[in-house]
Each structure stands twice: as C-alpha cells, then as structure tokens.
Homo-oligomer: A and B are copies of this chain.
Amino acid sequence: MRVTAQEVVTYLTEPAGDLESRIDRIIAGTPEAEVRGIGVAFIASHDVVLEAIRLGVNLLVTHEGAFYSHQEEQGFAPEDPVHAAKRKLIESDDMIIYRFHDHPHSYRPDIITAGLIEALGWEEEEHRDLGTASVVRLPQSRRLSDIAEHVKQKLNLPYLRAVGDPETVCGQIGVAVGYRGGGQHAIPLFEQERLDLMIIGEGPEWETLEYVRDAAAQGRAKALLMLGHAASEEPGMKLISERLAGRFPGLPVHFIPTGSMIEIL
C-alpha cells in the first residue's frame, strides 16, 4: 500500500492537537512523495543522512535539523562549503527530511521526556508530568555517584557532566530534556518541586549550574547531571520509531543513533 510523506507527518502530528509550528516542517523533499522506508534520528547529521541512504530509506524524521540553527531555513552560512555539500548530499538522493520538534514536545506527556524516563527504567516509579519537565520520585534515595552510574549504563554513555558532591543523597529528581536546563526554567523547579537533583540535556553554564554549585557551597544537598542535548532526546526519538513501525508495518523503519557529539580529551 502506497504511503506518502504527508501521511506519516499526519500520523506524527495528530497527538499534539492543533499545534501551529513554524519549526516542524518538511525541510527537504515534498509531502506527496511515496515513502520507501523511514529513518528516525535525533538530528539530520551528515553521518545520519549517509546511514539513511545506506539503509535505503527515503524519509528521515529528525528532532533537530540539518543546518546548525533552530530556525533553520537558511542556517547561519548557506554558502559555506560544509552546508552546501550537505544540501547536495540530501538532494542527490531525493531524501525527504521532516523536522519533528515542537509536536513531540506537545504530546501529553511530552514523548521526548517520556522516552528518556522509560530508557532510564523509571517509568514504573512515581512520576509526574509538569509539561516542560517531569519529576521522578525514587522509591529509595541514592547517592549521586550511584545514580550517575545507573544513567550511564542505561543510556550507554561514556561519561556525564556533573555539578555537586558525588555523595549527595538524591530521591526527588527533575528531568528536563534538550535545552530546558537554562536557569529561567530549571532554577525555580528546585524549590517548587523540592528537587535534590536535576537531570538535564544542556543549558548555559553559569545559570542552573552556578545555582547548584552555590546550593552545595551552602551545605544544601543539591546536584545536577548533564546528559548532553542529544543523549537526553534520543530515547524519545527511539520511542517514536517504535510507534511508526507499529503504525506502518509495510514499511522498513530504522532508528539511527547519532553517536557521541562531544568527546572528552
């Protein structure tokens, strides 16, 4: 049975209701094109596009875009050879790329956050969806260093960035994916939700991080774990790929990992 890119987009966007988004759109290719297979990834990196081509899929559904800018239309430097070579690669293979960012964050609960909580093995623990974050209550409080080991193992990460004493005992945990680690969003949650720990994607270094450092310097048991933007949102996209496979059983659906974005030297 013939499936168009538009049918896949319609399936993906429906749970978010009548959301208007200027971010979520087909950034390469056309909605009428027939889909031969679907690749799902955190970001449309050069390597992800190459892997999609290798897998023979022609629709890429990615949370972040292809050209290094959130409002991406032209990116920051469309004449740049890196940008131009990537556009050429995408066009040469008639790859359709659908940017799927605001809609998944508007599912209730946010499916990107839900995917992370599931990947952490915490979906059976007491947790509450706040819209832009979730609060998880561990049945038993644990040391930050133990929680960090758990997170690394569950998400298969070589390291985590951390603020706070590794011995801090944490039970009430805020989870804020992507760029939601900024101070305006994250700092008030510590007090409002009586958090011991926040697990974030990323955020400016001297907002939430400095708040937590100061809290620790004042003898308060507070801590922060930074997964990185990709690691925090990738599990949600994996969940999306599983739903797509269930809805379109006639199509090959592949989740394509992004790989490590930042190495430690």
Contacts and interface: CB of A to CB of B under 8 A. Distances in A.
Contact of A82 (B45, B50, B86, B218): B218
A190 interface: yes
Interface in A47-96: 47, 50, 64, 68-69, 75-77, 79-83, 85-86
Contacts of A209: 261-262
A205 B163 contact: no
A184 interface: yes
The bracket for how many chain A residues form the interface is 35 or more
- Of the listed residues A47, A202, A217, A261, the one surrounded by the most CB atoms of chain B closer than 10 A to its CB is A217
Contact of A69 (B82, B191, B207, B217): B207
Copies in the complex: 2
Contact of A163 (B202, B211, B263): B263
Interface string A209-236: 1110111011010100110111000000
A253 to B, nearest CB: 23
